[in-house]
Chains A and B, each alone.
Chain A
Amino acid sequence: DVKVTQSSRYLVKRTGEKVFLECVQDMDHENMFWYRQDPGLGLRLIYFSYDVKMKEKGDIPEGYSVSREKKERFSLILESASTNQTSMYLCASSLGKEPQHFGDGTRLSIL
């Protein structure tokens, strides 16, 4: 079974902090994704990566950056956290055109 692990289930940070969210997958998938999930808005793609050191902006990249130094790990970075970035963050991975597999999410609160 594919395992996508997000390092924290809950995280509380302060405005202006630099925040790192980590995601690791154990199935050698080349594609990895970061989404945020908000009530009534569904899942919105922030960034995705189709190879090590490769990244592409999704639909809502503003205020975020990503890093993929190793195939199994994809990090989401909030450069200067703001209260409107309080949300559930979901990481996913996939192999080629196969379906995406999701982690259980990180609920991030920015105070």
Chain B
Amino acid sequence: QQQVKQSPQSLIVQKGGISIINCAYENTAFDYFPWYQQFPGKGPALLIAIRPDVSEKKEGRFTISFNKSAKQFSLHIMDSQPGDSATYFCAASPHPYKYIFGTGTRLKVLA
């Protein structure tokens, strides 16, 4: 299966809270899992990425948790800020060049 299922579709979080976005995949051949952040009027920009040989990767307030046996991965945004309000896409790569994207999560952080 080539799908990547992303949830929730939208998320509202208070400033300072934790935002959590989940993704699930079925194809065990996927070997690269990037997250992209997209602001209105802009293209997606790489936020953070992980390979399946590690269970967690942290960059500042952003953390990817990866569960290989469950075929799930998630993005955690700690201390969420209004400037984090954007659409987030997870992706998985079954091929050196190709990505399969999730359907996106629209995050709104309330001031």
Contact = CB atoms under 8 A, between A and B. Distances in A.
Interface of A: 4, 31, 33, 35, 40-45, 48, 50, 58-59, 90, 92, 94, 96-97, 99-105
A48 B97 contact: yes
A51 to B, nearest CB: 11
A68 B9 CA distance: 35
Contacts, number: 50
Interface of B: 2, 6, 9, 32, 34, 36, 41-46, 49, 89, 96-99, 101-104
A24 B65 CA distance: 35
B103 A94 contact: no
A106 to B, nearest CB: 10
A99 B103 contact: no
Nearest to B9: A40
A43 B42 contact: no
A58 B2 CA distance: 12
Given A40-B103, A42-B6, A42-B89, A102 B45 contact: yes
